[in-house]
């Protein structure tokens, strides 16, 4: 049976990046991906610029658009934020993820496509991994298999996510006036938003919100977005995935550790998951290379504590934005806050709510 230092299940951003970093540090790494090369992944493909430092050299070749304009729409009105440099890049997940897997391979990772993880048997210091093709031994097993995680289910970790997002999304042909900005659509009644993200020659269009909204309800909001944007009906696909912080259950047991969506750590405010997939890949890799303390506490310090604040922001923002949308405060502060959110992974630590102004705007709105 072949033996590896680390066996990674799942070749999305979390798995491919963990694999690359670990192999680069001299470890023997096996990456198992159940699909083939260039597999399709439903995703709007938006990368906030805080992702860029986590990407390997050469990522520019898979970027489809670099956008410095964000337009926020609500109730027939739009507010435009223009920045002096790009704040969001868009990619197609097929080529982006393939680029990350190819970089892992270039760095010495054994990448096996069309090989599906089926089971894991934990020994004292080793883990036996069973796939549809073979059996392997590893010192560590990293579950980067997205949501729901089979690795997590088998080992009994990572379940019980408290918050989930439900999303409806489709790709549509380009329409000129939507192609040079990120468009966000706010709606009364859901804790979430709609989007149009322009790619090279398509547009990702969707709506996502916390699971308190049903798919049927979200579908109505998507129809409103289609109508506002002049997009003909396209049947969307529906998805559910967890957002952090995931305090409810462990994300590791023995030598098994979950990362990315498998660990349930997408952003609670935006639903952005690629940043945290890459961030968790970095945390898990540095833990495996120097396994002092607990990996749980590293996740808590570097991800969960921030996301706890993000969750509060998310609730307050989506509940109350309608009372401040028309205030100059939203235009002034919104532009800067959004830039900081997109640029800075520690953004949530800098959020201090102007509670008195929010309250006064709220009361003004109520009195109208």
CA 86 to chain centroid: 19
Q: Residues 326 to 345: which contact ligand FAD by CB under 6 A?
A: none
266 belongs to the binding site for ligand FAD (CB under 6 A): yes
Strand order through the sheet with 182-185: 77-82, 69-74, 182-185, 192-198, 203-210, 163-172, 237-243
Nearest to residue 88, comparing CAs of 195, 202, 173, 177? Answer: 195
Q: Residues 17 to 36: which contact ligand FAD by CB under 6 A?
A: 32-35
Q: Which of 14, 207, 258, 313 binds ligand FAD (CB under 6 A)?
A: 14
Question: Which C-beta is closer to ligand FAD: that of 33 or that of 103?
Answer: 33
Identify each DSSP E strand in 132-216 by its residue range: 135-143, 163-172, 182-185, 192-198, 203-210
Question: Which C-beta is closer to ligand FAD: that of 142 or that of 324?
Answer: 142
d(CA 287, CA 304): 17
13 belongs to the binding site for ligand FAD (CB under 6 A): yes
Strand order through the sheet with 88-91: 46-48, 88-91, 63-67
Q: Which of 6, 19, 45, 338 binds ligand FAD (CB under 6 A)?
A: 45
162: tokens are 């408290």
Q: How far is the CB of 363 from ligand FAD (least distance, A)?
A: 35
What does the per-residue mask of binding to ligand FAD show for 172-211, with x meaning CB under 6 A?
----------------------------------x-----
d(CA 204, CA 270): 16
Q: Which of 83, 117, 136, 187 binds ligand FAD (CB under 6 A)?
A: 117
Summarize the chain as % helix, strand, coil (round to 5). 40, 25, 35
241 belongs to the binding site for ligand FAD (CB under 6 A): yes
Which helix (H) or strand (E) element contains residue 11?
none
Q: How far is the CB of 76 from ligand FAD (least distance, A)?
A: 25
Q: Which of 21, 120, 144, 342 binds ligand FAD (CB under 6 A)?
A: 144
Length of the chain as a residue count = 368
Question: Which C-beta is closer to ligand FAD: that of 179 or that of 329?
Answer: 179
| Residue written as token pair 């230092």 | 5
Q: How far is the CB of 328 from ligand FAD (least distance, A)?
A: 29
Residue numbers of the site for ligand FAD (CB under 6 A)? 9-15, 32-35, 39, 41-46, 116-117, 144-146, 150, 167, 169, 206, 239, 241, 260-262, 266, 271-275, 277
């Amino acid at each position: 049976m072949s033996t590896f230092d680390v066996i990674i299940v799942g070749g999305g951003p979390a798995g491919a990046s963990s694999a690359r970093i670990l192999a680069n540090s001299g470890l023997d790494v096996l990456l198992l991906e159940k699909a083939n090369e260039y597999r399709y992944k439903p995703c709007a493909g938006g990368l906030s610029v805080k992702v860029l430092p986590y990407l390997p050299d050469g990522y520019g070749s898979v970027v489809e658009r670099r956008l410095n304009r964000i337009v926020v729409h609500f109730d027939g009105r739009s507010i435009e934020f223009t920045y002096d440099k790009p704040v969001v890049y868009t990619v197609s997940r097929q080529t982006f993820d393939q680029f990350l897997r190819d970089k892992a391979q270039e760095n010495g990772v054994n990448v096996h496509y069309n090989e599906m993880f089926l089971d894991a048997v934990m020994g004292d210091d080793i883990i036996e991994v069973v796939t549809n093709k073979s059996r392997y031994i590893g010192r560590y097993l990293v579950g980067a298999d997205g949501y729901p995680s089979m690795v997590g289910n088998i080992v009994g970790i990572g379940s019980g996510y408290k918050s989930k997002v439900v999303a409806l999304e489709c790709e549509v042909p380009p329409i000129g006036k939507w192609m040079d900005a990120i468009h966000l659509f706010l709606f009364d009644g859901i804790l979430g938003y709609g989007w149009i993200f322009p790619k090279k020659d398509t547009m990702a269009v969707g709506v996502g919100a916390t699971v308190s909204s049903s798919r049927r309800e979200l579908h109505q909001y998507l129809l409103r977005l289609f109508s506002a944007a002049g997009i003909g009906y396209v049947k969307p696909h529906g998805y559910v995935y967890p957002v952090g912080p995931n305090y409810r259950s462990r994300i590791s047991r023995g030598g098994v550790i979950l990362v990315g969506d498998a660990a349930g750590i997408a952003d609670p405010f935006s639903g952005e998951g690629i940043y945290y997939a890459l961030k968790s890949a970095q945390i898990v890799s540095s833990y495996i290379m120097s396994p002092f303390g607990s990996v749980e506490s590293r996740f808590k310090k570097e991800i969960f504590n921030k996301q706890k604040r993000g969750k509060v922001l998310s609730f307050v923002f989506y509940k109350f934005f309608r009372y401040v949308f028309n205030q100059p405060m939203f235009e002034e502060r919104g532009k800067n806050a959004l830039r900081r959110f997109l640029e800075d992974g520690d953004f949530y630590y800098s959020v201090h709510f102007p509670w008195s102004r929010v309250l006064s705007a709220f009361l003004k709105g109520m009195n109208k």
